[in-house]
Every structure is written in C-alpha cells, then in structure tokens.
Chain A
Amino acid sequence: MITELFSTTVLIGILASGIRLATPYLYAAIGETFSQKSGVLNLGVEGQMLLGCFAAFYVAFTTGNLWLGVLAAMIVGAVMGLAMAFVTVNLHAQQGISGIGFYLFGLGMSDLLFQRLMGTVETVKGFQKIYIPGLSDIPGIGEILFNQNILVYGAYLLVPIAWFVLNKTTLGLKIRAVGENPDAADSLGVSVAQVRYFTIILGGTLSGVAGASLSIALLNVFQQNMTSGLGFIAVALVYFGAWKPVGVLGGALLFSMVNSLQLWIQVLGIPVPSDIAVMMPYVLTILVLVATVSRVRAPSALTKPFERDE
C-alpha cells in the first residue's frame, strides 16, 4: 500500500492539497510577521482566526455572500487587533500573557456564538476553484498550482506584497526600525505607537482572513475549535521564516505538505496509527524550531513595551 503513495495521481493530489492547505498559515503568519517586525509578539492569532472562522461562516451562511463573509472576518480580526494593540501599546501588557488571553477569548467566544446563533454544524458552498484557461490544463502543474480558489491565490500574492512593503516603502522602514530600536525611531519623530497599532491591526485582519479561508474556502464548515493549533504554528512559522515573508512561505509550504501527506496516508488507509500521522506536523514544528532557533536573531525589541526613558 505504501507504493500507492508514489503513484502520479496521489503525488499530484498531495502537492495540490499541500498548496491549498498552506493558505491559512500564510495569511496568519504574514500578518504575524508584520507585528513581530515592529516588536510585538501576538500570541492571540489562534483566537483571532477562530472568530474569523465563525464570522466568515455565519455571514456567508446567512447572507449567501462569501465576500461579505470575508469582510466580516476582516472586521472581527481588526477589532481583536485593536484591542490587542491597546493592551500592549498603551497598557504595556506582557505580550505572551495577553496573547494567551486573546486566544482563550476567541476560543470561548467563537464557540458561544456558534451555540447561540447556529447550534448545529452546517455547511456552505465555499469559494470554488477558478479555472484559468491554458494554465489549468497543464498536466500535473495545472492541477497543483492553477486549480485553486481565490483565497489560495490571494495568500500567495501576499508574500511578494509583504516583502515589498517591508523592504521598499517608508512604512516598512519604520516598521523594521521600531522593532529593532524604538528609541531611535522615536527620536526621529516616528510614532512607535502608531506603527505598532498599524501592524497589530493588520495582523489581526489577516488572521481573520486566515480563519475565513478555513471556514468558507477550504473546509466549508464551522466547528468548535476548528483551527486546532494552526494559529500557534503560524506564530512558530514566523520564527522559522526568520521574519522574512519568503522564509514564512517556505515554512508554510513545509508544514502544509507534511499535513497533506498525513491526510493522504489516512485516506489511503496506510497502516500508520492516525494519532501518529496527525502528530507529524507538530513534531516537525518542534524539531524545526529547535534546529533554527540559534541561527536567527529576532527583532531586538520583540515583546518589549516601549516607553520613553524617565
């Protein structure tokens, strides 16, 4: 049965679903890259994603409009980001702890709203695959890369955009400076608070989209705690990717490919205990982080609240 894994059809299937599954990681981790680049560790990504999942699903389910669902997820994520920004920037909260608080809030709140507003698991007809004439017909490649839905394409498009914003714009320069030496930025009239508000809210918005991509583009259902740790992996991916969008892309692909592989192993009924299979991406997270942690240096001001001296 192992040999089945290596048949062309299965390989294409694994790669195609790997590409697709990287979507939520990408949105969440690119958003998190922005906030960490500016010196803020947002551990609440998972909670923001869960509320995004629910908001997108509920709005799409009740209105029948998927784009309204995405918008709702973005707004919910942005509001969560705003709250996170207030707590970290104005109240100088310990970012690790407040992030866990936001995660638990998102976890509980999404479940409560689900129980109150829906009660039963429903499905929606999510974003459909887009057929691109020519490209989609290329054997193999077409199936893997050009037979995906709009949110998947959006996620990959985000990578060069994020790189460009961070490296080629004045805003990106400010973000990098604020994350490395906020005192220097402050002394030059850059508002550390403004920059951090921007990045945290942007991160929240993208986490919301990450949630939407799960509930109305990939799985097309909403279930309690459906992200199951994906948001935390997104945070780890930022470290893995050395705070670079391209690195994050590499990490996201690695994890989604492993995830895809374990799904196919289960689908094909290969006798590997499913617990072990499901564990694979998480074990990989730990191994990869252990291997990379000493190699890269985080933004110097990461997790440090900014305050002018005396």
Chain B
Amino acid sequence: MTESTKLPSGQTRINSLEMRNITKRFPGVLASDHVNFDVKSGEVHALLGENGAGKSTLMKILYGLYHPDEGEILLDGKPVTISSPTDSINLGIGMIHQHFMLVPTLTVAENVALGLPSSRGALTDLDRVSKRIIELANIYGLKIDPDAYVWQLSVGQQQRVEIIKALYRGAALLILDEPTAVLTPQEVDELFVIMRQMVKDGHALIFISHKLHEVVEICHRVTVLRNGRMIGTRPTSETTKQALANWMVGREVGFAPDRGTTTLGEVRLSLADVKCGSDRGTPGLRGVSFDVRSGEILGIAGVSGNGQRELAESITGLRKVTSGKVYLEGQDITNLPPGEITERMLSYIPEERMRDGMIKDFSIAENMVLREHHKQPYSRYGFLNLRGIATHADELIAKFRVKTPSRETMAKNLSGGNIQKVVLAREISRNPRVILAAQPTRGLDIGATEYVREQLIEQRNQGAAVMLVSEDLDEILALSDRIAVIYEGQVMDIVQRENATPEKLGLLMAGVHPEDAAPVVK
C-alpha cells in the first residue's frame, strides 16, 4: 500500500519531526535541558508539564521564536535551521497560540492574508484569499465566513480562524498550545473532531494541555516535562490520568480535593434582580438573582464574556448597579464605595491578579497589607508601622508557603502561582464573611491550583460563603455545592452539584435549556 505524500490541502506531509538534545539557557535558569521530542505524521503527541516545565520554551524553539544553545531539529531525517517564525512556516510548521494571534478589527480574510505576499503585488488580493479560505474550510469541515470581522466571532470560531491561518500557510504540522482552555465542552468536542480528521489526513499535531483527561482522550503519545527536563514519553494507551499527574508533578497529587464536611448556615450574600452595563455600553447583567449561604461554594459557570466580570464588579462596588439590590448579611450594599464593602468583610480574589489583585512594583509585604494598611498594627495616626507590616508578611509567607527570596521582593518578580498565594493570603487571613473568587486558578500549575482549591474549601468549611467564578468546568464541578450557569448576563439555571453533568452545564453555557435541546442521536 502506498500512502499519498500529499495532504488534502495540497501540501507535502511531514513524515517525522525530531528535536534532539535541545538545550536552552536563560540567565540563571536552564529552561530546556537536553530534551528529546518527536512527532510523526498521523499522530497527536501531547506535551505535558507544569508552568515553567519548559513546554513553551521547547515549542518556541520549534516555531523559531527562540534559538537553542544546543541540539538539533530534524525534519524527515534532515537537519534544519529555524531562526524565525517565517522559517518554520516555510517548513510547514504552524502554531495555534494560547492567546489567539488575531487582529479583532480586521476581517477573517485580512487576518489570513496578513504578512503574506499578494498575487497583486502591493495591492491586497482578499477576494482570492477568501476563495481559498472557503476551499480549505470545506476540506477540513471548518465553517467560517471570510468576510466576518474577528471581533464578531465566538472564541470557538476564532480558533478555527487560527487553524485556517496555519493551513493556508501550508502547515503540515500544527502546534496547539492549550487549545481547549477557552472552549465550552461542546466546542472542545468539535475541535477534537477536526483534530481527528486532520490526523487521519496525515497531519502531525502537537497538543499542549494541562487537562489530563483530554490528553488521554485525543493523544496517541504523551511526553512529560518537569523543570526543563524530559521525564519520558509513553503511548497514552499505557497510562492513566493519575499516573500522568504524579509524573508531571513528581509526587502524588489529589484530583478532586477532599471537600470535607460543612454546615449550611444563613444567607450571607444575596442578589436581587441585579442589572448593570458592560464596558461597551451594552447590558452586562440582565437581572441576576441568587443567594450564597455560609458554608457553601456557589460556582458560577459560563463561557468567558457572559457577564462574569460585570457580576464580580457589581458585587464589589467596582461597577455601578443600574437596578436591583445586592445584600451582604442582610444589609443593602448596592453601589456602596468599594472600601465600605471591603470593611464589611467581603474579600475579593480578582480575575486579573496582576492588574487588579496587586501592585506589581510594590513589595510582597506592602501588597499583603493593601486592604488593611490604614489599621493597626500596620499603621497608626497615618504613619506606617513597618515592623507590624513585616511581621504580618513573614507570618503569611510561612503560612501560605509563598516561595520568595524575601518579603521585600517586588510582586512582579514572583511566579503566577506565588502571586496568587499572596493575594489569597491577604484576602483570606482577614477571616472574611464572604469570598468572591474570580478565576482563582487560571494559568496556575497543578501544584498551585491544588493549593488554592484546598484553601477555598477550607474557608467554606470554616463557614465563609464562597462565590467561585470559573470558566473551567472541571474546577466548578470539583469545588461547588451549587452551580449557577451564566449566559449573556442572565442566570440560566442553578443546579445542585449532584445533579450537574458536564453535558448539562455545557448546554446551559451555550444558552440552551437541556429540556429544550434536541435529543442526541448516537
């Protein structure tokens, strides 16, 4: 049997790509330490590792963004030099970045054509580009309108644009950097269908993900990296989620944190038909009502941009509520200044921890007293009590196991996980009545994620009312006692954890009530 060497897109396939002994040093860090990695036509090879394990470094080397200090890259057995993204594109390598590399104000066709020579010289040839996009879209089953503006597209559609962009440039090998992080479960399924088709057609795919069940589901082989070193490569059929997790972290890790026991208490936070606007002037919340009780975690599930930010900001006083009421322990706090809401012991772990959670150029000690700096023992008569601040910082650094050279280290020099620990320490150590956690583990590695989740459960078990906003369905399911699904600024439904399945939540997240959905034909 002779296999065609051409892909359906007309490109020559890449039979094998091998990275040998790749070493990359940054000042003070060995980011990649003699790593070997290879991928073949017709397979999905997962690259697994915690933040800072060296996955991105390795892929940036393959894509020509970094240059290795040692090692070589072989394409179909022949050594190649990749010194820029242009080189890698010319070799048939494409990359789907975690943060989409799209220009929202341009159309799909313009995004695809960007940087490519035009068949009309200095003039654009968008009509021809559009035609080719439609061709490719038909071959690979990626429905897309070439004339739509990217800002009009859903996240899933934007990802398709990224895939088309790579295919248009003749990608035979695709690097997918955490492609499922921003998708609904249904969109993930659609992506997997596309990936399976591509693999069948002879493409080679590299799949980077934190989500172990996805790795096990879609990948043929998996390579684990830890601290810049390669731990090993195995067929996924010979491994399990638990084994992979332990391998990746280097110790036993628990997936579903032990939720312990809790007693449900009085209503601490209550929203009654809350409405507010969004930054774009459109309605942000269209009448949201729910209660959060002492001793429970209410999960807010939903696809990014459906009102989560507005919800958190309405409660914390950062956004004006246009109608409806917010009650904290029975008292009306609607549109109170954020400072007064804080005083009533509402703690907030913001989504953008680097922007809203701390001041990058302040020390850890200073960041830890941001909320309480005007009170004793951190200050008196308007003068800071540096000793009090220092003692407080040292205590919290020890208690929350923040990895830092000293309490005077500037926040911006910490890793994402440790920054979150600083925020968590500040917000939790004041024994809040209500905790509002927005995307508390986004971008954190497994170790830090585990820690943050344990702390939230600990707070719930001690009687705090916790509202958890997360786009990660696994997290919602692992932590919540009840789950509210938000869609276009409205709560679609609130379900008990026991009655929630990813499928049911996925439909709600897409704005469909499960009872209205057409029966699935299997």
Which chain A residues have a beta carbon within 8 Å of chain B's beta carbons? 168-174, 176-177, 180-181, 183-190, 300, 308
Stretch of B115-123, B209-217, B419-427, B438-446 on the interface side:
B115-123
* Contact A188/B84 with A169-B123, A170-B122 known, Cβ cut-off 8 Å: no
* B101–A181 touching, CB < 8 Å: yes
Give Cα distance in the complex from A36 to B86, angstroms.
26
B23 to chain A, nearest CB (A): 17
**Majority secondary structure, B binding face:** loop
List 7 extra interface pairs beyond A170-B123, A173-B124, A176-B105, CB under 8 A: A170-B117, A173-B106, A177-B106, A185-B103, A185-B115, A188-B114, A190-B114
* B84–A189 touching, CB < 8 Å: yes
B253 within 8 A of A: no
* Contact A181/B104 with A170-B118, A189-B86 known, Cβ cut-off 8 Å: yes
Give Cα distance in the complex from A294 to B117, angstroms.
37
Contact flags B457-472 to A (C-beta < 8 A → 1, else 0): 0000000000000000
**Interface CB pairs A-B, < 8 A, 29:** A169-B122, A169-B123, A170-B113, A173-B106, A173-B110, A174-B115, A176-B105, A180-B104, A180-B105, A180-B106, A181-B101, A181-B103, A184-B102, A184-B103, A184-B111, A184-B114, A185-B114, A186-B85, A187-B85, A187-B101, A188-B85, A188-B89, A188-B101, A188-B114, A189-B86, A189-B89, A189-B115, A190-B114, A300-B104
* Chain B residue at minimal CB-CB distance from A308: B65
Contacts of B114 in A (CB 8 A): 173-174, 177, 184-185, 188, 190
B97 within 8 A of A: yes
* B124–A168 touching, CB < 8 Å: yes
B114-143 residues at the A interface, CB under 8 angstroms: 114-118, 122-124
Partner of A189, one of B85, B95, B111: B85
B168 to chain A, nearest CB (A): 11
Give Cα distance in the complex from A189 to B94, angstroms.
12
B85 to chain A, nearest CB (A): 5
Contacts of B97 in A (CB 8 A): 187
* Chain B residue at minimal CB-CB distance from A190: B115
> What count of chain B residues pass the 8 Å CB interface test?
27
A47 to chain B, nearest CB (A): 31
* B106–A176 touching, CB < 8 Å: yes
Contacts of A187 in B (CB 8 A): 85, 95, 97, 101
B132 to chain A, nearest CB (A): 16
* A181–B115 touching, CB < 8 Å: no
A39 to chain B, nearest CB (A): 12
Contact flags B55-89 to A (C-beta < 8 A → 1, else 0): 00000000001000000000000000000111001
* B102–A181 touching, CB < 8 Å: yes
Contacts of B103 in A (CB 8 A): 176-177, 180-181, 184-185
B341 to chain A, nearest CB (A): 27
Contacts of B116 in A (CB 8 A): 170, 188
Give Cα distance in the complex from A103 to B97, angstroms.
40
* A183–B101 touching, CB < 8 Å: yes
A169 to chain B, nearest CB (A): 5
* Contact A188/B104 with A168-B123, A169-B124 known, Cβ cut-off 8 Å: no
Contacts of B100 in A (CB 8 A): 184
Give Cα distance in the complex from A240 to B506, angstroms.
44
Contacts of B123 in A (CB 8 A): 168-170
Give Cα distance in the complex from A169 to B100, angstroms.
24
